[in-house]
Chain A
Amino acid sequence: MTRKTSYTFNLLALAGLLTLTLAACGSDPTPAPTSPGPAKTTAAATSGASNSDELAALRTLNARLSETETALKKDDLEGARKAYKAFDDGWYDVESIVRTRSKEAYRDIEQAMTKVGRELLRNEKPVSADVLPLLATLQSTYGASVKAAETAKPVAVAKVPAISGAEVEAATSKVSEYLMSRTDGLVKTTGDFAAAVKARDLAKAKTGYTVARFDYESVEFLAEAFKDFDVAIDARPDAFPQGETDPNWTGFHPLEKAIFVDGKLDERTDKLADGLVKDVTALRDEIKKMTIDPVVAIGGAAELIEEIQAGKITGEEERYSRTDLNDFRANLQSAKFVYDTYGPFVQQRNAVLHTEVQNRLSEVEKAIAPLFDAQGVATDYTKVDDKTRKILAQKVEALADAFSRVSGTLGLKV
């Protein structure tokens, strides 16, 4: 386990406190032990912050030990037994508090209790002088636990500064250029697609659709920043009161239906194609005004991955053309480009997480690769069986889970 950068751990050690075993690896302060690696088998430290209830419970029981001691010193065995039994019974209620803080303290207390219990409770003729030293040991181990809890500061979360510097700026420029060139590509391929539609060339329109969609899905998270454009360009018919017949349904998908289902190109599709080109061009102009920073880039990549899970796995996205896998790959490719660019910064801060994200990205890539032919054309998604869809979904889940810890690791507020 890597502990070197764990602020949590250092703070506790400094405070001279009980050892916490962090199940998390590296500098990731969340205790979810998802990372493979030599994780300790002990419970993850999920407690540590003192709260007044716990303290009160621990102190109350401490008083029972003092009562036991007082009674023993007066040789009042009946009173001592009574007080000690109250302690013994109460221990059941607080042992988990002690235990989550320190296994060692828990064990020491249990051992000391066994001895006191034997001499005081189960010995038919207890002798105060024999019990007192055993009780003293218990009092000291138990007292130390109470004291530790009293002085414990709430576990501080590891706040990491946002990544910065020339290297980060260079990475951001690279991502920005990539996204802008993808957006330019989108305008170009949408133009080609529209031309095919207006030429009433169904075969060319089908190919053109797939190509333009790939570009759109590559920058989908940027487009979604502009709600109006997203609706005009990418809405599904369910978003409109009259569904597929609603006059306000525009963009890619009514064209998709006309091409792949109706097989009919006409004046209506001409108008839709012109509108799409206009909207995509205007969107490009807006995107060009955006400043891409690490928050936008990493947050966007995470969104692209969630998009795969939300729409593509279920096959809702491309219901007419069944080219969902094409979109899947476009989302993934952009997310991967962004991650690969910032990956070295993740690696510096949490190498385990970096490896995990890389592995899971490649796991997803490997899983979809067989679903494309040599020309890169995606399998009709309706022909992908439920078992394969579930495997894809679970791999995307694993990727999304690891990715959800990237922004925090980079100190980004997404």
Chain B
Amino acid sequence: MSEMNRRTVLKALGLATAGAVAGGAATVAGFKAGEASPATAPTGGSSITVHNSPTASTLLPFEGVHQAGIITDPPEAVLLVALDVLSSDRNELVNLFKTLTARTQTLMGGAIGTAGEENPDFPPHNTGELGFEPLREGRLAITVGLGASLFEQTGKDRFGLAAQRPIALKPMPRDLAGDRLNPAMTDGDLFLQISSDHPIYNLHALRDILRATKGQLSPLWMQPGFQRFVEAGPGQAKARGLLGFKDGTSNLDTKDSELMSNLVWAGADEPSWAQGGTYAAVRLIREQIERWDRLTLNQQESSIGRHKTTGAVLGKDKETDPAKFDQDAAGEQVPLDSHIRKANPRLGAESEKRRILRRGYLYMNGVDKSGLLDAGFLFMGFCRNVEEQFEFVKRNYMTNRNFPQANTGAQDLDEYLFCIGGGYFYLPPGVRSPDRFLADALLLG
């Protein structure tokens, strides 16, 4: 890998943030994340933030081996969007992806458009809610995904792409136990995960993209989400869900590139255009908050399998203490139907290969018809193969009544939540140079 690429990758991993801070204090520390060896890195480096530095840029790089928004650190606001492609013409699809690429690159680069560029006789290009100075902050990432219907819809090869479909891409199954899918909130030709430090960046990006693609894309469903991330060490969760438990304790380490290659980035079994991309299982999960809040602490902890305050596995002291299910075969410490045993049973290689990179946000849409909170979890599971990983775990572990033992039942947590929408999408590899565009190898191939 060339040095330039290495820098780009490091930035994609979120290390640029630290680098930028070091830049502010460079004359003193003379340290930069991209070149730091572990020995020279200041201790507690992960606690460095850039928010107080007026000159530091927190823009994420657009170009890269992978799209931003997958292994980059999740910022606090997200907007999930599914759209339908209106055209049926391959050339128009190519132009659509060129437009999407250009807008994404411009928006992520913070170039929102200065006032001087506007012609008073035309509708302004910059909608203005972010002002008119180029942005250097916000960590905006626009991640584009492709739905199965783009490749084939009701048996029709719409754009001549059917033969290039990623091997495991399909509409989200309608038979996953417990799901109550709203068809109006499920699937879509295209998926956008727009994420940044504030919902206003996301909305700006969405407006820009919708304007730039009028007549080409029709919005299908949208769901904004939020999360509060805190600093955390390795093996510790950076966030909590609405159920009050830590979320992400045993998530995959995005800095472990071998792990990412094995479990997240699609490899040689996929069509060549798709390699370096990943699947996203997007699940909009409604949680029955009121009911959950009436459970005793014991009931809640048994349902999850962790202590609520510390995040430690039941019976352990610390969040980082490893689960040892083999020493608790009867589920005396950690119930067999608890979430952590069902979602990650720790069976060794057999279940390790099915792990996924999770990215989670919370949502709150007001109240439902019964006056109950319409709130829950926005789950994104990135994986190398959605059938062998996300779906296998869902079918064979979580909702399998006879796993890990006969008559265990589905995971207890399913009593309190259900999936209402989302979809399976394929996130193509990143755009690697200025003369390329997103999914060009698919569309021009």
The interface of chain A, by Cβ under 8 A from chain B, is 23, 28-34, 36-37, 39-44, 46-49, 51, 53-54, 57, 81-82, 85-86, 88-90, 92-93, 96-97, 99-100, 103, 110-111, 114, 117-118, 121-122, 154-155, 157-160, 360, 363, 390-391, 394-395, 397-399, 401-402, 404-405, 407-408, 411-413
Contacts of A88 in B (CB 8 A): 32
A47 touches B134 (CB 8 A): yes
In chain B, positions 29-74 with a C-beta closer than 8 Å to chain A are 30, 32, 35, 55-57, 59
A34 touches B212 (CB 8 A): yes
Pick 28 A–B contacts, CB within 8 A, sort by A.
Answer: A23-B99, A33-B98, A33-B103, A39-B98, A41-B101, A43-B105, A43-B111, A46-B106, A46-B113, A46-B126, A48-B114, A54-B134, A82-B30, A85-B30, A86-B26, A89-B24, A90-B23, A96-B109, A96-B111, A96-B136, A100-B134, A103-B434, A110-B4, A118-B3, A158-B119, A398-B214, A405-B122, A408-B123
Minimum CB–CB distance from B110 to chain A (whole Å) comes to 6
Minimum CB–CB distance from A202 to chain B (whole Å) comes to 40
Known contacts A89-B23, A92-B23, A93-B57; decide if A397 and B125 are in contact (CB<8 Å).
no
- When C-beta atoms are compared, the residue in chain A nearest to B435 turns out to be A41
A85 touches B117 (CB 8 A): no
A99 touches B109 (CB 8 A): yes
Minimum CB–CB distance from A23 to chain B (whole Å) comes to 5
Q: In the complex, which of the residues A81, A398, A408 contacts B122, with contact meaning CB atoms closer than 8 Å?
A: A408
Contacts of A90 in B (CB 8 A): 23, 26, 55
A39 touches B102 (CB 8 A): yes
Known contacts A34-B215, A122-B35; decide if A43 and B102 are in contact (CB<8 Å).
yes
Contacts of B258 in A (CB 8 A): none
CA distance A363 to B87 in the complex (A): 12
Q: In the complex, which of the residues A49, A360, A412, A413 contacts B215, with contact meaning CB atoms closer than 8 Å?
A: A360
Contacts of B91 in A (CB 8 A): 36
Contacts of A97 in B (CB 8 A): 134
Minimum CB–CB distance from B386 to chain A (whole Å) comes to 28
Of the listed stretches B14-22, B168-176, B327-335, name the one at the interface; the rest are far from the partner chain.
Answer: B14-22
CA distance A15 to B55 in the complex (A): 29
Known contacts A30-B125, A89-B19; decide if A46 and B112 are in contact (CB<8 Å).
yes
Minimum CB–CB distance from A60 to chain B (whole Å) comes to 9
Is B133 on the interface with A (CB-CB < 8 A)? Answer: yes
Dominant SS among interface residues on chain B: loop
Known contacts A89-B22, A90-B23, A408-B122; decide if A100 and B116 are in contact (CB<8 Å).
no
Contacts of A407 in B (CB 8 A): 121
Contacts of A92 in B (CB 8 A): 16, 19-20, 23, 56-57
CA distance A42 to B111 in the complex (A): 13
Known contacts A33-B99, A41-B98, A89-B19; decide if A397 and B215 are in contact (CB<8 Å).
yes
Known contacts A29-B122, A48-B117; decide if A93 and B20 are in contact (CB<8 Å).
yes
Known contacts A57-B55, A92-B57; decide if A41 and B125 are in contact (CB<8 Å).
no
B121 touches A411 (CB 8 A): yes
Contacts of B19 in A (CB 8 A): 89, 92
Given contacts A41-B440, A51-B133, A118-B3, 7 further A-B contacts (CB under 8 A): A30-B125, A89-B20, A92-B20, A96-B136, A397-B214, A404-B123, A408-B122
Contacts of B23 in A (CB 8 A): 86, 89-90, 92-93
- When C-beta atoms are compared, the residue in chain A nearest to B220 turns out to be A390
A36 touches B92 (CB 8 A): yes
Contacts of A28 in B (CB 8 A): 122
CA distance A317 to B123 in the complex (A): 27
Contacts of A114 in B (CB 8 A): 2-4
CA distance A157 to B114 in the complex (A): 11
Minimum CB–CB distance from A136 to chain B (whole Å) comes to 20
Q: In the complex, which of the residues B20, B113, B116, B211 contacts A34, with contact meaning CB atoms closer than 8 Å?
A: B211
A394 touches B218 (CB 8 A): yes
CA distance A43 to B114 in the complex (A): 15
Contacts of A391 in B (CB 8 A): 218
In chain B, positions 274-331 with a C-beta closer than 8 Å to chain A are none
CA distance A121 to B118 in the complex (A): 44
A34 touches B214 (CB 8 A): yes
A89 touches B26 (CB 8 A): yes
Q: In the complex, which of the residues B27, B215, B434 contacts A82, with contact meaning CB atoms closer than 8 Å?
A: B27
Minimum CB–CB distance from B7 to chain A (whole Å) comes to 9
Q: In the complex, which of the residues A41, A49, A86, A397 contacts B102, with contact meaning CB atoms closer than 8 Å?
A: A41
CA distance A384 to B71 in the complex (A): 45
Is B95 on the interface with A (CB-CB < 8 A)? Answer: yes
Chain B 413-445 interface 0/1 with A at a Cβ cutoff of 8 Å (1 = within): 000000000000000000000111100100000
Minimum CB–CB distance from B190 to chain A (whole Å) comes to 14
Contacts of B435 in A (CB 8 A): 41-42
Minimum CB–CB distance from B83 to chain A (whole Å) comes to 11
Contacts of A397 in B (CB 8 A): 214-215
- When C-beta atoms are compared, the residue in chain B nearest to A406 turns out to be B122
Size of B's binding interface in residues, CB under 8 A? 60
A30 touches B57 (CB 8 A): no
Contacts of A394 in B (CB 8 A): 86, 215, 218
| Interface hub of B57, B103, B118, B122 (most chain A Cβ within 10 A) | B122
Contacts of A395 in B (CB 8 A): 215
Ranked 4 nearest A-B pairs via Cβ: A89-B23, A398-B215, A408-B122, A408-B121
- When C-beta atoms are compared, the residue in chain B nearest to A360 turns out to be B215
Contacts of A33 in B (CB 8 A): 98-99, 102-103, 212
A32 touches B95 (CB 8 A): no
Known contacts A44-B102, A46-B112; decide if A412 and B211 are in contact (CB<8 Å).
no
Q: In the complex, which of the residues B92, B119, B134 contacts A30, with contact meaning CB atoms closer than 8 Å?
A: B119
Contacts of A154 in B (CB 8 A): 114, 116
Minimum CB–CB distance from B184 to chain A (whole Å) comes to 9
Contacts of A51 in B (CB 8 A): 114, 133-134
Is B213 on the interface with A (CB-CB < 8 A)? Answer: yes
Contacts of B211 in A (CB 8 A): 32, 34, 401
CA distance A81 to B35 in the complex (A): 13
Q: In the complex, which of the residues B102, B116, B122 contacts A23, with contact meaning CB atoms closer than 8 Å?
A: B102
B117 touches A412 (CB 8 A): no
A412 touches B121 (CB 8 A): yes
Contacts of B92 in A (CB 8 A): 36
Minimum CB–CB distance from A88 to chain B (whole Å) comes to 7
Known contacts A46-B111, A46-B113, A96-B134; decide if A39 and B95 are in contact (CB<8 Å).
yes
Minimum CB–CB distance from A400 to chain B (whole Å) comes to 8
B111 touches A89 (CB 8 A): no
Contacts of A390 in B (CB 8 A): 218
| Interface hub of A36, A54, A100, A154 (most chain B Cβ within 10 A) | A36
Known contacts A30-B123, A36-B95, A89-B26; decide if A96 and B117 are in contact (CB<8 Å).
no
- When C-beta atoms are compared, the residue in chain B nearest to A93 turns out to be B57
Known contacts A30-B125, A34-B215; decide if A93 and B55 are in contact (CB<8 Å).
yes
B134 touches A32 (CB 8 A): no
Minimum CB–CB distance from A57 to chain B (whole Å) comes to 7
Known contacts A41-B437, A43-B111, A397-B214; decide if A413 and B121 are in contact (CB<8 Å).
yes
Contacts of A46 in B (CB 8 A): 106, 111-114, 117, 125-126
- When C-beta atoms are compared, the residue in chain B nearest to A97 turns out to be B134
Contacts of B113 in A (CB 8 A): 31, 46-47
CA distance A57 to B302 in the complex (A): 56
Chain B 68-102 interface 0/1 with A at a Cβ cutoff of 8 Å (1 = within): 00000000000000000010000110010011011
B106 touches A43 (CB 8 A): yes
Q: In the complex, which of the residues B35, B55, B214, B436 contacts A41, with contact meaning CB atoms closer than 8 Å?
A: B436
Minimum CB–CB distance from A118 to chain B (whole Å) comes to 7
